[in-house]
Amino acid sequence: MSAAAPANTRPEISAEVRTLPARYYTDPAWFDRELESIFCDMWLAAGRTEEIQATGSYFQRQVGNARVIVVRDESGAVSAFHNVCRHRGTLLCREPEGRFKGSIQCPYHAWTYGLDGRLTSAPHMEKVVRFRPADFPLQRVATAVWAGHIFINLSPDPSPFSEHLAGLDQRFHPWRMQELVRVERRRYELHANWKLIIQNYSECVHCPNAHPQLSRFQHYLSGVNEPPQATWLGGFMELRPEVRTLSLAEDHDRGCFVHLSETDRRRVYYYAILPNMLLNLHPDYMVTYTLWPRAADFTQVVCEWHFHPSQIRQPGFDASGAIEFWDVTNRQDWELSDLAQLGIASRGYQPGPFSNREELLHAFDRWLLARVPEEPSLYAPDGSD
């Protein structure tokens, strides 16, 4: 705490640059357009390959009104399908996760699909003229895997996944994320717009006020941000000299990830991979967040803590200090995000000025306005027209 604050050497900003008008955080119609233009068009972090290791294992994710099954198929690859029967539209399964035994069968009329989505059995269709099972596969959702992270993309014409990563795969190669194993999952519900969570994540000038325990370990002005990208925002912060990792306990003898440089062993990397993943890379563990917007003012967040098997195998391995550190920090951030939602939704709200240390938020706002059309599109999302 005794270190002098780093000088504010970042570029100036104008007081005329302002936060967005309230309706971007409160209007259900705008929220629907965000779902369409962002969440149904970009790559979304959906889970980890370790969750579906066996053939037929699956988990479900909901994105807007899309319900997606992510499944390990017969070839060993990760596939994803809309959870809707092609006969009369029945939801194929309710369970959030489980394992299909070689096929996916609709509970209504027993239409049956292979794990590759092909319709293999459709009873009582023998007198339906021009009915060809090949015309009625499960509808596929695009998937990609990076370092154990599964991404899905609901667009019929997804952008190349490598463009989405835009170099992150090379940068974070030394962490060998694909080898890491989840130790804890906690779920949170925020009465806040999803963008407020990303904005909260993208600046640390709130840290001294909001996160006393974090500020003991990292100086909140030590961060260096990268130039904002079309698909991610991020940077790193330095650990204070005497600090080895972020933990509420003294139990962190687990050692750093072995392939990290000396420099990376003194840093925590904080990256928002747009639109729904927050990735915290520590010297000795990884925290991931996935954001699931449910309404303009309601977002579900899944937070997971991952370690390396070699750490976990060590006698006395204890992740609780890292888990509780971030659980406490999360709750502080969620409360602020909820208060921001309440204030922005209030009649008294007016767009306000940014600090020049909030430059990523302004970049994020510009990205949002460029990405989402102001007027509703003519495309009918339910395919009804």
Residues 200-239 that bind its own copies (CB under 8 A): 205-206, 208-210
Size of interface with its own copies, in residues (CB under 8 A): 82
Among 89, 160, 227, 316, binds its own copies (CB under 8 A): 89
**DSSP 8-class letter at 178:** G
Task: Say if CB 50 and CB 57 are below 8 A apart.
Answer: no
Among 40, 46, 239, 287, binds its own copies (CB under 8 A): 40
Q: Least distance from C-beta 247 to its own copies, angstroms?
A: 25
Task: Please report, to the nearest 10 degrees, the dihedral formed by the alpha carbons of residues 271, 274, 276, 280 taken in order.
Answer: -10
- The string over 175-212, giving b where at least 16 C-beta atoms fall within 10 Å of a residue's C-beta and e elsewhere, is bebeebebbbeeebebebbbbbbbbbbbbbeebeebbe
Residues 51-80 that bind its own copies (CB under 8 A): 63-68
Q: Least distance from C-beta 302 to its own copies, angstroms?
A: 21
Segment interacting with its own copies, rule: CB under 8 A, options 19-27, 165-173, 174-182, 251-259: 19-27
Q: Residue 144: phi, psi to the nearest 5? A: -150, 155
Contact between 26 and its own copies by CB under 8 A: the answer reads: yes
Q: Least distance from C-beta 246 to its own copies, angstroms?
A: 21
Q: Least distance from C-beta 362 to its own copies, angstroms?
A: 11
Residues 271-300 that bind its own copies (CB under 8 A): none
Which H or E run contains 289?
A: strand 286-295
- Beta partners for residue 272, in sequence order: 233, 278
Residues 92-151 that bind its own copies (CB under 8 A): 92, 94, 107-110, 123-132, 135-136, 139
Report angle CA 263, 264, 268 to the nearest 5 degrees: 125
Among 13, 142, 145, 248, binds its own copies (CB under 8 A): 13
Residue placing its CB nearer to its own copies in the complex, 154 or 274:
154
Residue placing its CB nearer to its own copies in the complex, 61 or 254:
61
In angstroms, rounded to a whole number, what is the distance separating the alpha carbons of residues 125 and 106?
A: 15
Residues 319-358 that bind its own copies (CB under 8 A): 335-336, 339-340, 342-357
Residue placing its CB nearer to its own copies in the complex, 86 or 252:
86
CA nearest to 179, candidates 315, 312, 327, 273: 312
Task: Say if CB 164 and CB 247 are below 8 A apart.
Answer: no
Task: Please report, to the nearest 10 degrees, the dihedral formed by the alpha carbons of residues 217, 289, 277, 167 taken in order.
Answer: 50
Report angle CA 361, 363, 367 to the nearest 5 degrees: 115
Q: Least distance from C-beta 89 to its own copies, angstroms?
A: 4
Chain centroid, CA 67 distance in Å: 17
Segment interacting with its own copies, rule: CB under 8 A, options 82-90, 176-184, 237-245, 271-279: 82-90
